[in-house]
Amino acid sequence: MKRSRVIIAFIALALVLFPLVVKSDYYQHLVILALMWVVIGGSWNLLAGYTGQVSFGHAVFFGTGAYTAGILANKLGISAWWGMAFGGITAALVGLFIGWVCFRLRGPYFALATIAAGEIFRLIATTWESLTEGMVGIMILQTFRSKLPYYYLALLLAAASMFVFDLVMKSKWGFYFISIREDQDAAESLGINTTLYKNVSLLISSFFTGMAGAFYMNYMAFIDPHVVFSLHYISIMAILVGIIGGVATIWGPALGAFIMIGVQETFRSSIFGLAPRWVSQSHALVFGLLVMFVILYMANGVVGDWPKIKRLFLRRP
């Protein structure tokens, strides 16, 4: 117990000091993205890992948050930072609608409906040009030139989200969520309103993902439908972050976010420019192979299968 607190304090200190030590914009950028993914991966994990409702469409909430911020700046002329306040709320409303449609059915319907929702939102964002500018995308001016404010904001968001997820999972709600995942009928028979608590889980999850989306809009200053509503680069990435780190653990998605950003960037930069150029085009292939590998051999992720991994390395001294 005490040892883990020391480790947490150490990690927190390292993350706070990181941008003061490492001045490179490039590495700061990578850590900012990783921190954003901590939020999204954690949100996905709350819904899928703990509550057992596997979402294939977290891009819906991410994109809704991002577009809320973008449209506020673009159409109403107020700062896109208001999106940080409203992005989460609109994403949660969208989440409620999806939950209302899907949670009356069981099994794979939710997974399917979330994919469909992702595609519907992408198509809407593409075709409703008077609101979203369509394929042109929305561009705003970045507020800060330095990366430091964004870095600390992302850190704050990531820490806040993990704190909330931890709090929720230690509360009564957390036990309801897990009971729904383990056996919905048993949970129902014990008097748990399973539909209500699935929606609660979805609400929290979509809220934080929407916040992350609004942050993305402010930080990148440019969005278009194919980036923020992308099935592969947002929805599938959220799943990967969750399962590679370890589903149904608080630290899993956080670790997964750093691993995934690391892997993605390693391949995007052709293994730091050492490998030939075609390697940089293969990062989607690597993603796919990683999904297959992780599911076959590390179904519970790095954190969940940590004892297994430790044994593997200790066996040959």
Partner 1 sequence: MTVFLQSLASGILIGGIYALIGIGMTLIMGVMGIINLAHGQLMMVGMYITYVLFAFLKIDPYISLLVSMPALFLVGVVIQRFLLNPLMKIEAILPENQVLMTVGIGMVLTEIARFIFSSDYKSTTTAFSSQVFFLGTISLNAPMVIAFVIAVALTLILFWFLLKTDLGRSIRATAQDKEAATLMGVNSGRITIITYALGAALVAAAGTVLLPIFYLFPDIGGPFTLKAFVITILGGLGSTVGAIFGGVTLGIAESLGATYFGMQYREMVGFVIFLLVLIFLPGGLKRLTKI
Q: Which of 180, 247, 250, 279 binds partner 1 (CB under 8 A)?
A: 247
Taking CB under 8 A as the rule, does residue 167 contact partner 1?
no
Closer CB to partner 1, 118 or 210, in the complex: 118
**Closest approach of partner 1 to the CB of residue 62, in Å:** 18
Structure tokens at 294: 């992780």
Contact range with partner 1 by CB under 8 A, out of 21-29, 73-81, 88-96, 293-301: 293-301
Exposure pattern of 79-107 as b/e (b: 16+ CB <10 Å)? ebbebbebbbbbbbebbeebbeebbeeee
**Closest approach of partner 1 to the CB of residue 41, in Å:** 14
The end-to-end CA distance of the chain, in Å, is: 28
Taking CB under 8 A as the rule, does residue 292 contact partner 1?
yes
How buried is residue 152: exposed, middle or buried, by Cβ count under 10 Å (0-12/13-18/19+)? Answer: middle
Question: What H or E segment, with its residue span, contains residue 139?
Answer: strand 138-139
Q: Whole-angstrom Cα distance, residue 90 to residue 316?
A: 53
How buried is residue 118: exposed, middle or buried, by Cβ count under 10 Å (0-12/13-18/19+)? Answer: buried
The closest of 310, 309, 279, 283 to 294, measured between CA atoms, is 309
Contact range with partner 1 by CB under 8 A, out of 61-69, 100-108, 147-155, 201-209: 100-108
Taking CB under 8 A as the rule, does residue 93 contact partner 1?
no
Structure tokens at 210: 């929407």
Q: Are 212 and 39 in contact (CB under 8 A)?
A: yes
Taking CB under 8 A as the rule, does residue 236 contact partner 1?
yes
Residues 101-140 that bind partner 1 (CB under 8 A): 101-102, 104-105, 108-109, 111-113, 115-116, 119-120, 123-124, 126-127
The closest of 46, 5, 11 to 249, measured between CA atoms, is 46
Residues 262-291 that bind partner 1 (CB under 8 A): 281-282, 284-285, 287-291
In this structure, the number of other CB atoms found within 10 A of the CB of residue 234 comes to 26
Contact range with partner 1 by CB under 8 A, out of 230-238, 253-261, 268-276, 309-317: 230-238
Closer CB to partner 1, 170 or 308, in the complex: 308
Count residues binding partner 1 (CB under 8 A): 45
| Contact residues: partner 1, CB under 8 A | 48-49, 52, 54, 56, 101-102, 104-105, 108-109, 111-113, 115-116, 119-120, 123-124, 126-127, 181, 231-232, 236, 239, 243, 247-248, 281-282, 284-285, 287-292, 295-296, 299-300, 304
